[in-house]
Structure 1
Amino acid sequence: MTADYESVLLSEPITFLIGPDKKQFTMHKSVVANLSKSLHQLLNGDMEEAKKRCVSWDDTDEQTFIRFGQWAYTGGYKAEGPEVLLDSSQIATSAQDSLTVIKQEPTQPTAAIFQNSAQHCGRDWAVGSQGTPCVTCKTSIVSSYCSSCRCVRFTHCAKCRKRAVAAPSSPLQSMCTAFASNAEYAPPTTVRHVPRKNTESCEVYTEVFLSHAKLYVLADKYDIPVLRKLSLHSLYETLVHFTLYQDRIGDVVSLVRYSFENTIESDRLRSLLVGYCACFAKELSKGEEFQELMSECPDFAYGLVKELGRYLN
């Protein structure tokens, strides 16, 4: 560890010109060059970047590069926080002292409602029970649990489970369970990403989603496997625990549009988003933004129909 740290401090600086404004950032050469073969060749080969010790990334925005640098030096990065819009409960008018606030309800519980049953080892549930609050509505419930894997049978109350899906063996539940338990999006280390959970329709998650997606695109471009896997895992966990409101359909649309514009066919990011949107296709299809996306992005539309068809069959 000491030798590695010393080599970093002794390595020469590399200047990065980021975005259309070419804002200057500096990183140690050994840190960047060791991230992938592509970056090693860029900084140690015969290219102009290596000779001038200056790299220009016009198509990378400043915040994405900062996260890239944060990850390169620490092994982790901080995602963008949500933008909180002013809701009706905060608006004061001279005509009335108080307003009747109608709180927007989620279109569906999060995909995380299906995670527990998918993680269960398959053995019989214990006769005993454990007290636990419902993940969605926080109502106190008592649930049986597995004495082997300690998995609680129900993390949601009966009312929330009924809202999620009426038929226990429906194609919807099968699809959501498969998505919520997909090991393909496991973290590159033993540490799982714990996302911030949204609880109000006024919490805009567009930049939260894009902070992960943009880092994934950067990692994919320069073939950085660990960062690619970490950013995909972080986005996956964020989506699994994301509560979809009617007002927030546009957040998902922005994520899908950016991802399909910046990746190629059969990319893992595309597969992740198709899987998520399939679970909430009924709710998403009610939004005008999503309807426009379907007509503007035929690759996504085809992938979504194909994914839905797998479970309907």
Structure 2
Amino acid sequence: MESSLLFVSIVSSRIFKFSVGEAVDGTSTEVAVHEEAIAQLSEPLRILTKSGPSARAGKATWKDVSKDTFERFVQYAYTGDYSIPKTEKRRFVPRAEELPKLESEEPQATAAPESEPNPPAESEPEKISEEHVLTTDFRTLSLPLLAPRDNYEGTCEPSVDFEKDHSYSNVFLSHASLYVLGHVQLIENLKALALYKLHKTLCTFELDSENIGDITDLARYAYSGEDKNAEEGTGGLRGLVCQYMAIHARELHKDVKFMNLLVGGGQIVQDFIKLQLQRVN
């Protein structure tokens, strides 16, 4: 009954217009939504739409929110969930000789002749690397949702299938940008949902020398702008991204763009070092 009443209050409320994307898309886009769909999400949004200059004018400007991010935000406002963009096929695949050499690509020791096999004793336990343990820990991180979600099959649930020849930057950034929007507007449910989906996608993602840039793009976004979520320290979006970077530091440090990101200093370096020290201890 409550959901029915909420739906009625939303569709019967006045139309409120947002002008979005000018600073990130290069052009401004106007989107009309029902006032109550936005107002019910948080106190700052209730104030925005129901009191003050923006409420009287019936419109607001969000220059730093892209059109794509805002459309997913509006979908979340109406339904409690948002669709994930499809991965994009990579436009350029570097030649093998141009790729940074990862640990897994080092020459393998020459195999013993077939006539002299040297298999491990049956009682010898399997050796598990530190990286394997850390990756397992990352996969089992608990990122609970704070509200029910509609979970439209095929559009809202992160895929469990990894597409090696596709770029994941747009997918990572779709979740990260909604997290930041939720952080700025105090929408805890949206933050939890975006973090949940980002974590699930990172667990599927298979890092290699061709797609390191996808992680660099995510890290750059998470740590650009000290006002985004700096007070969370290694919690929230930055914490999740930094944990992933710490686990894969061996591969990432061989990427020029990633190292240039660290050379810039700032909070990302502090968080990265903290997590690396935690690994040692």
TM range (shorter): 0.7 to 0.9
Name the structure 2 match of 1:283.
Answer: 251
SS of the equivalent of 2:69 reads helix
**Cα offset, 1:10, TM superposition:** 1.2
Q: Does 1:187 align with 2:145?
A: yes
**Cα offset, 1:274, TM superposition:** 0.7
CA distance in 2, matches of 1:300, 1:82: 26
* 8 Å Cα contact 2:80-2:148 kept in structure 1: no
Q: How many residues align?
A: 242
SS of the equivalent of 1:238 reads helix
**Cα offset, 1:107, TM superposition:** 6.2
Amino acid at match of 2:14: E
* 8 Å Cα contact 1:171-1:312 kept in structure 2: no
Q: Out of 152, 155, 162, which is 1:198 matched to? A: 162
* 8 Å Cα contact 1:206-1:252 kept in structure 2: yes
Unaligned runs of at least 5 residues, structure 2: 105-125, 152-156
SS of the equivalent of 1:261 reads coil
Q: TM-score under structure 1 normalisation?
A: 0.70
CA distance in 2, matches of 1:55, 1:190: 29
* 8 Å Cα contact 1:9-1:28 kept in structure 2: yes
**Cα offset, 1:178, TM superposition:** 2.3
Amino acid at match of 2:137: A
Change (3 A) 1:187 1:108: farther
Name the structure 2 match of 1:17.
Answer: 19
262-271 vs 63-72, which moves further: 262-271
SS of the equivalent of 2:223 reads helix
Change (3 A) 1:34 1:50: same
SS of the equivalent of 1:15 reads strand
SS of the equivalent of 1:182 reads coil
**Cα offset, 1:212, TM superposition:** 0.6
* 8 Å Cα contact 2:145-2:189 kept in structure 1: no
Unaligned runs of at least 5 residues, structure 1: 89-100, 110-165
CA distance in 1, matches of 2:83, 2:138: 24
Amino acid at match of 2:222: S
Q: Out of 61, 78, 94, which is 2:66 matched to? A: 61
Amino acid at match of 1:167: K
Between Structure 1 and Structure 2, the one with more strand by share is 1
299-308 vs 267-276, which moves further: 299-308
Amino acid at match of 2:33: M
SS of the equivalent of 1:303 reads helix
Change (3 A) 1:306 1:255: same
Q: Out of 65, 72, 76, which is 2:77 matched to? A: 72
Name the structure 2 match of 1:178.
Answer: 137
Change (3 A) 1:186 1:297: farther
**Cα offset, 1:81, TM superposition:** 1.6
SS of the equivalent of 2:16 reads strand
Name the structure 2 match of 1:303.
Answer: 271
Deviations 1:216-239 (A, max 9, x none): 111111011101110111111111
**Cα offset, 1:173, TM superposition:** 3.4
261-270 vs 33-42, which moves further: 261-270
Aligned-residue CA RMSD (Å):
2.8
Amino acid at match of 2:176: A
Q: Out of 213, 219, 240, which is 1:256 matched to? A: 219
SS of the equivalent of 1:311 reads helix
Give the share of equivalent positions with the same residue, in percent: 28
Q: TM-score under structure 2 normalisation?
A: 0.78
CA distance in 2, matches of 1:64, 1:26: 15
CA distance in 1, matches of 2:251, 2:159: 22
Change (3 A) 1:279 1:207: same
Name the structure 2 match of 1:95.
Answer: none
Amino acid at match of 2:63: D
Change (3 A) 1:179 1:224: same
Name the structure 1 match of 2:43.
Answer: 37
Deviations 1:146-198 (A, max 9, x none): xxxxxxxxxxxxxxxxxxxx832x54334223221111x23335778433532
Q: How does 1:1-313 map to 2 (within 5 A)?
A: 1-20=3-22, 21-45=27-51, 47-86=52-91, 167-168=127-128, 170-183=129-142, 185-189=143-147, 193-200=157-164, 202-262=165-225, 263=228, 264-265=230-231, 266=233, 267-313=235-281
* 8 Å Cα contact 2:19-2:62 kept in structure 1: yes
249-258 vs 262-271, which moves further: 262-271
Amino acid at match of 2:18: F
14-23 vs 207-216, which moves further: 14-23
